[in-house]
Amino acid sequence: MREIDSGAPAGELPDGPPLERWELAAVGPTWRPPVGETTVSLVDGALEVHSQALVFRARDVVDSTTGSPLVGVIPAASIVTIGPLSPGSAGSGAWMPGWQQRFRSPGFVVGTDVGAWVFDGPKGPRRARELRERFGIA
C-alpha cells in the first residue's frame, strides 16, 4: 500500500451521493512526497462531483499521518479557476499513446485558494468546461 502525507485534513465530506464519478489520477496541492522521494506522482482514484464540492478518493493509497484512505475534499467556495492541462504536461497522459501526448490535453487543473489540483484522464477539456459551468467559474 502506497503512503502519502496529505499535508492537510481532508475536510468535510458532502452529504448525499455524487452527481457524477470519474476515474482519474490526481495530485493535490498540499500532498508531500514520501520519505526518500522528491516528488508526488499521480495517484489513481475517482473524482466525485457533488453540487457543493469535488471529492477525490484515492485507490490503494493511505495518508501517512493518519493511516486512513487518502481523500481530498475541494469545497466549491474554494475553487478559483478550472482549465485543461496543456498538451505534453510533465508526468501526465501516460494512459494515451505517446504520439498523442504532445498534441492532446491529458486532463484538467482545478485552482483553489490553497493551490492547484491536477487531474489526469481522458476528456480533460470537456470535463474542465463541465465543471466551470457547474460551479459558475468564468
Residue 96's pLDDT is 44
Instruction: Name every residue whose Cβ is closer than 8 Å to that of residue 86 and which is 6 or more positions away in sequence.
Output: 105
Nearest CA among 61, 116, 75 for reference residue 92 = 116
pTM, two decimal places: 0.88
Rounded CA-CA distance 79/51 in Å is 13
Residue 84's pLDDT is 87
| Per-block mean pLDDT, blocks of 10 residues, the chain (138 long) | 85 94 94 85 95 96 91 96 75 54 71 93 92 94
**Number of domains, the chain:** 1
Q: Are strands 79-84 and 116-120 parallel, antiparallel or unpaired?
A: unpaired
Strands (DSSP E) found in 43-89: 43-49, 53-63, 69-75, 79-84
CATH number at residue 131: 2.30.29.30
Domain that holds residue 110: 2-135
